[in-house]
Amino acid sequence: MLISFDRIRKIYRLSEIEIKALDDASFQIEEGEFVAIMGPSGSGKTTILNILGCLARPSSGEYLLDNKNTEQMNDRELARLRNSKIGFVFQNFNLLPRFSALENVELPLVYANVGKKARESLSLKALGEVGLSDRTGHLPSQLSGGEQQRVAIARALVNNPPLILADEPTGNLDSNSGREIMKLLHNINYQGNTIIMITHDQGIADQARRLIALKDGKIVKRDG
């Protein structure tokens, strides 16, 4: 089992107000799955992804990633786990504006202390896999939205993490570019990587093999 979420709660306190962003969420995800997370705005989707990605800690409950209990890890250990196991794809691409496509893709390898030569060849390969071999020197502002998202996917893939987390990866794209991105995600999943993807789009969610539906921080549906 790759992921185990056991009675996860996330509570935000803003002065007097307490917001239960996640309330008793439990699920498990096996290696190689393609899971869609759906739910209305504010239902806790990004909160789940942030916890899955070790960017936030739950208020209570137990999160095991690759059979490791994240609760017992300090921030450094969590960062190391994140760098080696997880690739992120965001709705707004999150590329660094002053860095070329190639340099953006190289970033996770910089954090992993990979040498310059190897960094470059791995990144060129990843950009090739997303069909951008002829755009490696472009800045994000010189790329279309679909191309920027493909750079972001290359960046998520470059150190071959077993888990890809995507928060509305097609949310800012026209339907054609969205289809291309979905095709890429399917290919990546076919190669054995686990994908967990947030979407508002039922048509996109239907392409995943499993659906987790959220409402008010609670899981209301858990197919498969």
Ligand X SMILES: Nc1ncnc2c1ncn2[C@@H]1O[C@H](COP(=O)(O)OP(=O)(O)OP(=O)(O)O)[C@@H](O)[C@H]1O
* Binding stretches for Mg ion (CB under 5 A): 45-46
User: Among all residues, whose Cβ is closest to Mg ion?
Assistant: 46
Size (the chain), residues: 224
Q: In this complex, which beta carbon is closest to ligand X, that of residue 10 or of residue 119?
A: 10
* Count of CB atoms situated within 10 Å of the CB of 144: 12
Q: In this complex, which beta carbon is closest to ligand X, that of residue 33 or of residue 167?
A: 167
For ligand X, which residue of 1, 19, 96, 220 counts as binding (CB under 6 A)? 19
Give min distance, CB of 12 to Mg ion, in A. 14
Residue 111 in contact with residue 158, Cβ under 8 Å? no
Residue 206 in tokens: 């239907």
Residue 155 in contact with residue 105, Cβ under 8 Å? yes
Residue 4 in contact with residue 63, Cβ under 8 Å? yes
Which of ligand X, Mg ion, none does 47 bind, CB closer than 5 to 8 A by kind?
ligand X
What binding mask, one character per residue, do residues 32-51 give for ligand X by CB under 6 A, x or -? -------x-xxxxxxx----
Pick out residues in 145-184 that bind ligand X (CB under 6 A): none
Q: In this complex, which beta carbon is closest to ligand X, that of residue 14 or of residue 74?
A: 14
CA distance to 51, 87, 119, 138, 224, per residue, from 47 (Å)? 6, 16, 32, 33, 22
Residues 6+ away with beta carbon under 8 Å from 29? 1, 2, 3, 35, 194, 196
By CB under 6 A, tell whether 21 contacts ligand X.
yes
Give min distance, CB of 10 to ligand X, in A. 8
Which of ligand X, Mg ion, none does 21 bind, CB closer than 5 to 8 A by kind?
ligand X
Helix, strand, coil share of the chain (percent; to 5):
40, 30, 35
Give min distance, CB of 46 to Mg ion, in A. 3
Q: In this complex, which beta carbon is closest to ligand X, that of residue 83 or of residue 172?
A: 172
Query: How far is residue 65's CA from residue 209's CA, in Å, rounded to a whole number?
Result: 20
Which of ligand X, Mg ion, none does 58 bind, CB closer than 5 to 8 A by kind?
none
Give the interface with ligand X as residue ranges (CB under 6 A): 12, 14, 19, 21, 39, 41-47
